[in-house]
């Protein structure tokens, strides 16, 4: 499979702080990658650097062969990167339907398809963003990213703070987006073992560097690297 995303010697951070000192990464068309690691090791900074909201000190970012390194976040979104940040960033003063259509771009992901993927959003289509539960807001954030009809979807801690039953529903939808729709996806997630069940490959970060990478299935079969690099996080995620 050809590479969709190419990061070469990426050096990025915030202000004067370099969080990612020198990282290179490839993601193939249709591939799903889990980004794992303890808190504060640069996972979110990696996603933020792909969408372009960090300070870049060096390196390049290419999407489908196109150099997007110097493009703004808005231009990168138009180029084909969909982003669901930890904060979700939904428009709280707009309805569910207005949230979904405000930044929609032509493609196979239509309002009807998003409602089919997330029936709860169809039920709540006239509710304001600030009237939704945490789980509904996360569904809306994912649905809004899909309405951009991206080639690459970035998900930052999509299950954080959600009830177990909502986590399972959301993971089932993410699995469909990856497996049935063939969406290239990068997912930062604390629930390591849960997300490994829906991804193809995983990288573990430490201090902004990749310290281990393997097929997701291999990490599930032999979790020693998870124990080594994630410690209690990995054990907690096994439940």
pLDDT digit string, tens, across residues 7-61: 999 999 999 999 999 999 999 999 999 999 999 999 999 999 999 999 999 999 9
- Mutual angle of helices 134-146 and 164-179, in 10-degree steps: 10
Q: Inform me whether the pLDDT recorded for 186 exceeds 80.
A: yes
The average pLDDT across 70-76 equals: 97
pLDDT of residue 239: 32
Q: Where are the alpha helices (DSSP H) in 118-187?
A: 119-123, 134-146, 164-179
Decide if 25 contacts 210 (C-beta within 8 A). yes
Model pLDDT, residue 231: 82
Residue 31 DSSP symbol: -
Q: What confidence score (pLDDT) does residue 190 get?
A: 84
Residue 2 has pLDDT above 80, yes or no: no
Tokens of 28: 């193939």
- Give mean pLDDT, residues 160-179: 94
Q: Which structure tokens are listed for 32?
A: 């799903």
pTM comes to 0.94
Helix (H/G/I), strand (E/B), else coil: 215: strand
The Cα–Cα gap between 34 and 187 comes to 5
Q: Above pLDDT 90, what percent of the chain?
A: 92
């Amino acid at each position: 499979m050809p590479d969709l995303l190419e990061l070469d010697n990426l050096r990025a951070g915030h202000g004067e702080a370099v969080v990612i000192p020198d990282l290179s990464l490839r993601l193939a068309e249709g591939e799903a990658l889990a980004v794992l690691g303890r808190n504060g090791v640069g996972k979110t900074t990696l996603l933020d650097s792909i969408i372009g909201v960090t300070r870049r000190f060096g390196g390049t970012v290419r999407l489908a062969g196109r150099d997007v390194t110097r493009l703004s976040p808005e231009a990168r979104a138009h180029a084909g990167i969909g982003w669901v940040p930890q904060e979700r960033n939904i428009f709280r003063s707009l309805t569910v339907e207005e949230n979904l259509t405000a930044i929609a771009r032509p493609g196979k992901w239509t309002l009807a398809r998003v409602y089919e993927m997330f029936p709860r959003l169809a039920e709540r289509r006239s509710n304001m963003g600030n009237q939704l539960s945490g789980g509904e807001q996360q569904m809306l954030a994912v649905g809004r990213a899909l309405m951009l009809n991206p080639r690459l979807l970035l998900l930052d801690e999509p299950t954080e703070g959600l009830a177990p039953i909502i986590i399972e529903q959301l993971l089932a939808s993410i699995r469909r987006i990856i497996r049935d729709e063939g969406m290239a996806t990068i997912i930062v997630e604390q629930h390591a073992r849960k997300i490994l069940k829906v991804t193809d490959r995983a990288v573990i970060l430490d201090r902004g560097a990749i310290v281990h990478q393997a097929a997701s299935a291999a990490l599930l079969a032999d979790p020693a690297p998870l124990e080594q690099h994630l410690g209690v996080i990995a054990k907690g995620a096994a439940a």
